[in-house]
Structure 1
Amino acid sequence: MLLRTVLCLAVASASTVTFADTVWLKNGDRISGKITVFDGGKLMVKTEYGGSIPLDWKQIKTMESDQELLVKQDDYMGEKAKTIKAADDGKVILQNGEAPKTVELASIQQIIKPKPVVTDLQIKGNVDMGLDYKRAETDTDDYNVAFKTTARHGKWRHIGSGEYNRESQDSVVTTDNFDLEYSLDRFLTDQWFWQGRVDYKRDKIEDLERQRTVGTGPGYQFWDDELGAFSLGGLINRTDYQYTDGDKDRFYSVAMKWDYNRYLIGKTVEFFTNGELGKPIGNVADYSLDAEVGLRYKVTEWASLNLKAEKDLVSGTDAADLDTTRYTAGFGVAW
């Protein structure tokens, strides 16, 4: 029994060593963990003892990894290496089933994990919160909460998002609205997909107090990997407007929808933008725009600071136009 226990511990220990990535630095230090990404001059290594550690690429002597990684030596072409083996100073050996290939570390521009075929449910998302309290001649309270979550399984992708904004000055509410949206994508190929979505907006202050939109159309996923994602979609929408005076509008429109995010500086900073530009069919409105752009700075694996700008515009309606620009700064969590 004791011998069996010892053997099991030995096997477990050997497995841990076998599947741990190792990075040797020029100063003689050695970092063990899991290589997640190399971009912007930083190699991110996830460790059990210190979380994700960014390493300066110029300070790396060599490294090894037993996981499959996509190694890019230019902006367009990459080579899937089944394993990476340590070599002489400033070099690594890529093994992909063919003859091993020795490359200079200085020639590598990017290392990411290849996008796997999604067979199990994968969920990711974030919540951003902004709070601003000002006590002066005019007291101001400002709240902003936004969330977005994505669930992917096989060829189906579910995206849910929402936002709530409220602002008051001397106890008088000047902004009070929320927005909820759900999208369902069905991938026809690895990149082409068909989307259906529903969106509901409620504003208790502006003349345009309710917006309900149902739409469908094709989309294209340009990329979706460790460093970000970018997709464009074309939609045919049916939209209902309801105004504070009781008037209503119903119309069809065509729209372009985008969703882009990109991690920078070793995944410590994220740039993101998403939105929709629509053109109604008929004379109900000239055009509509709902967009946001911002930055997130990762403080820990799950916490971040964020700064973003939002634009909500409906031009040419029968009632007063809607034109709102909002800037927020705050903190958030991700999963």
Structure 2
Amino acid sequence: MAGASRLGVNMLLRSWFFILICLFSGHSLADTVWLDNGDRLSGRIELIEGGRLVMATELAGTVTVSVSRIRTLESDRGLLIKTHDHAERALSLRASETPGEVLLVNGAVQSLALRDIRQLLEPRPLIEDWQWSGKAAAALDVKQADSDTRDLDISVDTKARHGDWRHELGYEFERDFRNEQKSRHVWEAEYDLSWFFADKWFWQTSLGYRRDFLEEVARRRQLGVGPGYEWWNNSLGHFETAARLGHLRLDRRDGSAWHASALALEWDYRRFLFGKRFELYHTAETLIPDASEIRWSVDAELGLRYLLNSWASLSLIADWDYLNATDGSDINYRRYRLGMGINW
């Protein structure tokens, strides 16, 4: 009797274990795309835009497919869909028997031609757990012509988000040589802490430090606080602006120091293009100090990143540092770089 009882308990436990596996596997079902040649892709649909579908797969990484080659698709996730004349949120998508169409489930079931979809993306979820992302890039330029040139640039940017709080940390190192003479040697770091007190609005505290080993201004320290607004943030990119009041301190190489209150205007724009194959980005900060020596300054970066795969990229970057001084000692520095990077 004891053996039979143990056997019954084991069978019951196995049955419950099998049921739990089925339940959890049902929640992990992947999106599915059927192609016109009979192939089938499984993964997570990230985006449809410009006639191309972007899908993250487990084995092949990020895959881009022309919408014209898709027979139908399905997804059990809520997605935002924009057509030529309206936008709506579908609870799920079902495969259609008609080639080139998909069934939208949003209370009622309606048929939609895939060619009519201008954009399809996943709505931004409510962030409860930690989300960490970042990128690192390195550019090395070596030329031998009328003047020998060796330029090295390394940058690391990382971002962590948890609930209403966002942490951003950036670091950059630059060292240039002209005919074996060092022409630029700079490193700088910046930390931003943002608190989202509303859906789009946030309050930001920013700390910045810059060390220059060659120019007259050897050190720059910057502290600022102020509001910001996130205009959009989705799988296509994001755009936000911020205005901060703070303090700026410059330490010259001769031992003297200069400090003043300053208004900082900052923006950050990023946009994926051509089915997430390219990323265009532009960041800039304009400083307007309350001082008679300096009118204003700009630190801007414009770049185009080509995504080789889900983690590697090739970047073309243009930097512009400008300072407008009342005594005519303006600084106007431009630089163009080509580098490799990794994303996570």
- TM-score clears 0.5: yes
Deviations 1:149-204 (A, max 9, x none): 11111111111112111001222100100111001101111100111101111111
1:208 match: 217
Is 1:159 matched with 2:195? no
Q: Is the 8 A contact 1:249 1:284 kept in 2?
A: no
User: What is the CA-CA distance between 1:319 and the residue it aligns to?
Assistant: 8.7
Deviations 1:104-133 (A, max 9, x none): 212111111110001001011101110112
Corresponding pairs, count: 333
Deviations 1:275-329 (A, max 9, x none): 1012112313011100101011111211111110111112106694332111111
2:152 match: 143
2:61 match: 51
Cα distance in 2, alignment partners of residues 95 and 102 from structure 1: 9
Is 1:172 matched with 2:181? yes
User: What is the CA-CA distance between 1:94 and the residue it aligns to?
Assistant: 1.1
Cα distance in 2, alignment partners of residues 71 and 155 from structure 1: 27
User: What is the CA-CA distance between 1:8 and the residue it aligns to?
Assistant: 3.5
In the superposition, the TM-score normalised over structure 2's length comes to 0.90
User: What is the CA-CA distance between 1:22 and the residue it aligns to?
Assistant: 1.5
The structure-2 alpha-carbon separation of the partners of 1:2 and 1:35, relative to structure 1 and needing over 3 Å to count, comes to: farther
Which of 117, 126, 132 is the aligned partner of 2:135? Answer: 126
Which of 218, 239, 258 is the aligned partner of 1:249? Answer: 258
Is 1:26 matched with 2:39? no
Q: Which has the larger radius of gyration?
A: 2
Cα distance in 1, alignment partners of residues 193 and 108 from structure 2: 44
2:335 match: 326
Gaps of 5+ in 2: 1-9
User: What is the CA-CA distance between 1:34 and the residue it aligns to?
Assistant: 1.9
Q: Is the 8 A contact 1:252 1:281 kept in 2?
A: yes
Cα distance in 1, alignment partners of residues 180 and 280 from structure 2: 35
Which of 281, 290, 297 is the aligned partner of 1:288? Answer: 297
The percentage of aligned residue pairs carrying the same residue is 37
Q: What amino acid is aligned across from residue 42 of structure 1 in structure 2?
A: R
Corresponding residue SS for 2:108: coil
The structure-2 alpha-carbon separation of the partners of 1:158 and 1:17, relative to structure 1 and needing over 3 Å to count, comes to: closer
Which of 239, 242, 245 is the aligned partner of 1:236? Answer: 245
Q: Is the 8 A contact 2:51 2:115 kept in 1?
A: no
Cα distance in 1, alignment partners of residues 109 and 265 from structure 2: 46
Q: What amino acid is aligned across from residue 343 of structure 2 in structure 1?
A: A
The structure-2 alpha-carbon separation of the partners of 1:317 and 1:246, relative to structure 1 and needing over 3 Å to count, comes to: farther
Cα distance in 1, alignment partners of residues 340 and 22 from structure 2: 40
2:319 match: 310
1:105 match: 114
Cα distance in 1, alignment partners of residues 120 and 242 from structure 2: 28
Q: Is the 8 A contact 1:223 1:230 kept in 2?
A: yes
Corresponding residue SS for 2:59: coil
Cα distance in 1, alignment partners of residues 28 and 300 from structure 2: 47
The structure-2 alpha-carbon separation of the partners of 1:11 and 1:122, relative to structure 1 and needing over 3 Å to count, comes to: closer
Q: Is the 8 A contact 1:159 1:184 kept in 2?
A: yes
User: What is the CA-CA distance between 1:139 and the residue it aligns to?
Assistant: 2.5
Q: Is the 8 A contact 2:127 2:163 kept in 1?
A: yes
Which of 268, 271, 280 is the aligned partner of 1:259? Answer: 268
User: What is the CA-CA distance between 1:11 and the residue it aligns to?
Assistant: 5.1
Q: What amino acid is aligned across from residue 21 of structure 1 in structure 2?
A: D
Higher deviation after alignment, 201-210 or 324-333: 201-210
User: What is the CA-CA distance between 1:261 and the residue it aligns to?
Assistant: 0.5
Cα distance in 2, alignment partners of residues 174 and 165 from structure 1: 10
Mapping 1:215-234, distance limit 5 Å:
215-234=224-243
1:89 match: 99
1:186 match: 195
The structure-2 alpha-carbon separation of the partners of 1:317 and 1:249, relative to structure 1 and needing over 3 Å to count, comes to: farther
User: What is the CA-CA distance between 1:12 and the residue it aligns to?
Assistant: 5.1
Cα distance in 1, alignment partners of residues 55 and 26 from structure 2: 16
Q: Is the 8 A contact 2:323 2:332 kept in 1?
A: yes
Cα distance in 2, alignment partners of residues 74 and 168 from structure 1: 54
The structure-2 alpha-carbon separation of the partners of 1:197 and 1:318, relative to structure 1 and needing over 3 Å to count, comes to: farther
CA-atom RMSD, angstroms?
2.4
Gaps of 5+ in 1: none
Corresponding residue SS for 1:286: strand
Corresponding residue SS for 1:116: coil
User: What is the CA-CA distance between 1:209 and the residue it aligns to?
Assistant: 2.1
Is 1:39 matched with 2:49? yes
Q: Is the 8 A contact 1:202 1:209 kept in 2?
A: yes
2:70 match: 60
2:7 match: none
Cα distance in 1, alignment partners of residues 204 and 138 from structure 2: 28
Cα distance in 1, alignment partners of residues 163 and 326 from structure 2: 42
Deviations 1:51-86 (A, max 9, x none): 2110001221211111222112249x5322221001
